[in-house]
Amino acid sequence: MKKAPDSIFKLIKAMTVAEKRYVKRDLNKYTANTENYNSLLFDALNALDVYDETKLLKKIKSSKLKKNFRVQKQYLFDAILERLRSYEALTDMETQLRNKMENCRILIKKGLLGEALVEVDGILEKSRAYELYLIWLDALWLKHDAMQGVERNRDYKEETRKIFKELNELAQLNGQFIKGRACNAEFFFLRSHPTMGKEIDPKIYEVKRQNDENSKVQSDKIRQLYLTNQIQFCGLTKDYVEFTKVGKIALENIENSYLKKTAPVAYFIALANYAYGLNETSQHLELATLLKKWEEELTKDYWGKVTKARSIAIIRRYSRMLKLLGLLPTALGDEFKFDLKETTLYECVYAEYNSLIEYEFIQGNFDRVLQVIFEQETFASRGLRVLDKRRNKLLEVIIGYEQGNLITLTSAVDKAKYFHKKNKLYTDLEMFFLNRFNKYYPTEIEQFLPVYEKWKEQNKEDFLIQLWLEAKGTKRRLIDCYRAKIRAVACS
pLDDT above 70: residue 33: no
Region 268-284: mean pLDDT is 86
* pTM of full prediction above 0.75: no
- The answer, yes or no, to whether residue 423 has pLDDT greater than 50, is yes
Q: What is the pLDDT of residues 134-167, one digit of tens each?
A: 777 778 777 877 776 554 434 455 666 666 666 6
pLDDT over 50 (residue 386): yes
List pLDDT tens digits, range 330-384. 666 555 555 544 444 555 566 677 777 777 776 677 888 888 888 777 765 555 6
Contact 353/395 with Cβ under 8 angstroms? no
Handedness of CA 82, 83, 89, 92 (dihedral sign): negative
Give the pLDDT of residue 144. Answer: 73
What digits encode the pLDDT tens for the residues 180-212?
A: 566 666 655 655 554 444 444 455 555 555 555
- Among 241, 234, 163, 225, CA closest to 204: 234
pLDDT (0 to 100) of residue 418 = 77
Query: What is the percentage of the chain residues whose pLDDT exceeds 90?
Result: 0
Residue 353 · residue 380 · CB < 8 Å: yes
Of 21-25, 252-256, 428-432, the range with the lowest mean pLDDT is 428-432
Name the residue with higher pLDDT: 70 or 330.
Answer: 70
The phi, psi pair for 198, rounded to 5°, reads -65, -25
Inter-residue long-range contacts of 3-12, CB under 8 Å, 24+ positions, other chains counted: 3/77, 5/51, 5/53, 6/51, 7/77, 8/45, 8/73, 8/76, 8/77, 8/80, 9/45, 9/48, 9/51, 10/51, 11/77, 11/80, 11/81, 12/42, 12/45, 12/46, 12/80
pLDDT (tens digit, 9 = 90+) per residue, 212-259?
A: 555 555 566 667 767 776 777 777 667 788 888 888 888 888 888 777
Report pLDDT for 441.
40
Task: Specify the pLDDT at position 477.
Answer: 44
Instruction: Give 16 or 406, the one with higher predicted confidence.
Output: 16
Of residues 15 and 425, which shows the higher confidence score?
15
Say what the pLDDT of residue 69 is: 79
Q: What is the mean pLDDT of residues 431-438?
A: 58
Would you say residue 65 has pLDDT above 50? yes
Confidence (pLDDT) at 392? 80
pLDDT of residue 10: 87
Q: What is the mean pLDDT of the chain?
A: 69
pLDDT for the residue numbered 460: 47
pLDDT of residue 42: 85
More confidently predicted of 95 and 79:
79
Which pLDDT score, from 0 to 100, does residue 301 have?
A: 81
Q: What is the average pLDDT across 411-430?
A: 70
The answer, yes or no, to whether residue 86 has pLDDT greater than 50, is yes
Provide the pLDDT confidence category of residue 414 given band limits of 50, 70 and 90: confident
* CA–CA dist 11, 50 (Å, integer): 13
The predicted-structure confidence for 286-336, as pLDDT tens digits, reads as follows 888 898 888 888 888 888 777 787 788 788 878 877 776 677 766 665 555
pLDDT of the residue at 482 = 43
